[in-house]
Structure 1
Amino acid sequence: MTRIGAGGRGSAILPATVLIVAKAPVAGFAKTRLTPPLSPVQAARLAAAALLDTLAAVRDCPLAHRMVALTGDLGAAEYGAEIAAALTAFEVRSQRGDGFGVRLANAHADAARAGLPVLQIGMDTPQVTSRMLADAAGALVAAGDALLGPAADGGWWGLGLPDPQAARLLADVPMSTPATGEHTRRALRSCGYRVGPLPMLTDVDHYDDALRVAGDCSGRFAAEMDALTAGQAAR
């Protein structure tokens, strides 16, 4: 992978867009697979912490454009005011379309209006750092290939496209299955792309995932997870 600077403030600006696809962390709406053992409010707070860490990592990456495709009512979200303040550093658009694959494709189409290659991530990998994002965005710009970051569950956490319009293929990829990553890779190759690798990461989908990921974090997500586990141990 081509290394382009340290990814902190003061680095050369990378001519790329990082797109975050996010769900407002509303109790009963976000991270429902964490309940049980967590309550809906606890799960939503953990989701909010993951989103805040992700926003911070992208904010601190030297990018030409940052965008969030959001669904849900931020006014009803846990830590909603703090998230709203963090979003002032981003272009924010509402997700649109029926089905997750269609919403992803439409989000890429919106991000493509900036005329830059797009690196898309979600809010389920708070262990992502600005350095990791800078390396990925730099490789996307330098090589002109697609990038795919596999998730441990068979899906993917990151997708880089030099031509964002090619995201239309996502509308036909079965999402949230153990084979989503492989289906996406095949679809990219069928469009003539070479697919470069990103590191494999663990998505936070279940409670065991959250425990594992918290061990790789040092931000809000880890602190929120520590508070939750301490509270459960005190019962």
Structure 2
Amino acid sequence: MPRISITKRNTVEESVLFPENSDTRTTAHRNKVLVRRCRNTLALDGLAGVDLDLGSLTKKRRDYGASGTASKPFLIRLRAHHPQMHECQLVVFVKAPRAGFVKTRLAETVGTETALEAYLSLVEVLIGKLKDLPHVDLCFTPADALAEIKPWLQPGWTATPQCDGDLGARMQSAVENGLNTAQRVVVIGSDCPYLDSRDIGEAKAALEQHDLVLGPATDGGYWLIGMKAPQPEVFRGITWSSDSVLSDTLRIARENNLKISELRELPDVDTVADFIKFHEWHILYRAKADSGFHSESSAGD
């Protein structure tokens, strides 16, 4: 039976090898055989609703004899739109809440336990702002942290371990995985509690007309990156955790002729000074929440 596999951009790809001296002598007949086999397999895989698009059918012939029949195998590929494709996947990078593993820069000054408490506060605020959004994936590290991440999951959300490699490799992998099921992917970290669901909506909208969207951070990095097609070059050659992350990313994007949209600038929470500002902001945020006043406040409000 033919082999069906789900591939990037939520397509179904069919690979069929016709043997030597096949009796499928005409292209039309071969196509009919292929479509029939595809539909049978799609039905078995629970994908009977997939609309096979013959306009995307291509064939790769290796060698034909004088009679027109294949003297060697050739490959036919069929791509079809998958019904489960959604508009936008939000990926949130999180770490297991472990003392000594999170907010290490902050921990150098305030200690690992206080840094852990700060991290839990950051995640609590962020999850509270995003909890009503669909198609959210918590991309976590290390790989054995699922039990620790589960309490943060909201209805319909998913959790996926981060791959190996530096931050760029992990974000690139998250984007490529997200584009298997979504038209656009937006990635954020857990260091910026000041962002809100409106920022995610603006990023999603920006990707309708742009190749890349970035949320600049005040420390020279970015708190959000989004794209609608894999752009691996923007994750390469970057000195992560430096104040040149944003400028280097913009330079690489322009060198590759990408259309770029930038959102508002927001601060991360990495240092003691950042934490003090966040603590003051958080007091006001909780007071508004407790009083029933709903406001997705920005930094400095």
1:213 deviation in Å? 3.0
1: CA distance between counterparts of 2:233 and 2:183?
16
Partner in structure 2 of residue 212 of structure 1: 277
1: CA distance between counterparts of 2:112 and 2:181?
37
Partner in structure 1 of residue 176 of structure 2: 109
Residues 101 and 170, structure 1, Cα contact 8 Å, conserved in 2 = yes
1:36 deviation in Å? 4.2
1:171 deviation in Å? 3.5
- Kindly report which structure 2 residues correspond to 1:39-188, keeping only aligned pairs within 5 A, or say none: 39-61=111-133, 63=134, 65-72=135-142, 73-74=144-145, 80=148, 83-89=149-155, 90-140=157-207, 142-163=208-229, 165-167=230-232, 169-188=234-253
2: CA distance between counterparts of 1:138 and 1:59?
20
C-alpha change, 1:180 and 1:26, in structure 2 (3 Å) is same
1:137 deviation in Å? 1.9
Q: Give the alignment's Cα RMSD to 1 decimal.
A: 2.5
Please point out which of 247, 258, 261 is paired with 1:196.
261
1:168 deviation in Å? 5.1
Q: Which is greater in Rg?
A: 2
Please point out which of 87, 94, 117 is paired with 1:22.
94
Q: Report the structure, 1 or 2, having the larger helix content.
A: 1
Letter in 1 for 2:152: A
TM-score by length of structure 2 reads 0.60
2: CA distance between counterparts of 1:137 and 1:46?
29
1:214 deviation in Å? 3.6
1:97 deviation in Å? 1.9
Q: Report the structure, 1 or 2, having the larger strand content.
A: 2
- What are structure 2's unaligned runs of at least 5 residues? 1-85, 291-301
2: CA distance between counterparts of 1:219 and 1:181?
31
1:75 deviation in Å? 7.0
Partner in structure 2 of residue 35 of structure 1: 107
2: CA distance between counterparts of 1:158 and 1:219?
24
Residues 147 and 196, structure 1, Cα contact 8 Å, conserved in 2 = yes
1:207-228 per-position Cα deviation (integer Å, ceiling 9, x unaligned): 10112234444259x99xxxxx
Runs (4+) off by over 6 Å: none
2: CA distance between counterparts of 1:32 and 1:166?
30
1:191 deviation in Å? 2.5
1: CA distance between counterparts of 2:128 and 2:177?
22
1: CA distance between counterparts of 2:267 and 2:145?
26
C-alpha change, 1:27 and 1:75, in structure 2 (3 Å) is farther
C-alpha change, 1:167 and 1:45, in structure 2 (3 Å) is farther
Partner in structure 2 of residue 8 of structure 1: none
Letter in 2 for 1:159: I
Residues 212 and 225, structure 2, Cα contact 8 Å, conserved in 1 = yes
Residues 26 and 74, structure 1, Cα contact 8 Å, conserved in 2 = no
1:116-167 per-position Cα deviation (integer Å, ceiling 9, x unaligned): 2111110000111122222222222x3233111111111111111121x114
Letter in 1 for 2:234: L
1: CA distance between counterparts of 2:233 and 2:175?
8
- What are structure 1's unaligned runs of at least 5 residues? 1-13, 224-235
